[in-house]
Amino acid sequence: MRNVTVWSLGENIAAELGSLAERTMRLQCTVQDGEAWLGSAEADAVKIEWTVLKAPANA
C-alpha cells in the first residue's frame, strides 16, 4: 500500500456538498493554487478543504 494517498475532508464539507445535490446535476470543479471549489449553476460554490493523512511512500 505504498502508493495510497488518504485525505480527510473538513468537518462541514459533506453538508455543504449536500446543498449542491439535485435530481439532475452538472457540477463544475475549479482547482487552483492548492484549493478546490465545487459548484453548479443553481448553487454557490463550495470550497473543498482537506488534510493529507497519508502520502505515498515515494512522494
Q: How many other β-carbons are positioned within 10 Å of the β-carbon of residue 38?
A: 18
Q: How many other β-carbons are positioned within 10 Å of the β-carbon of residue 3?
A: 8
Length of the chain measured in residues: 59
Mean pLDDT computed over 27-41: 91
Q: Which residue has the higher pLDDT, 30 or 14?
A: 30
Please tell me whether the overall predicted TM-score, pTM, comes out greater than 0.75 for this model: no
pLDDT tens digits, 46-59: 999 889 999 988 75
Q: What was the pLDDT predicted at 59?
A: 59
Domain ranges within the chain, ordered by starting residue = 6-53
Give the per-residue SS3 of the chain.
CCCCCEEEECCCHHHHHHCCCCCCCCCEEEEECCEEEEECCCCCCEEECEEEEECCCCC
Q: What was the pLDDT predicted at 19?
A: 86
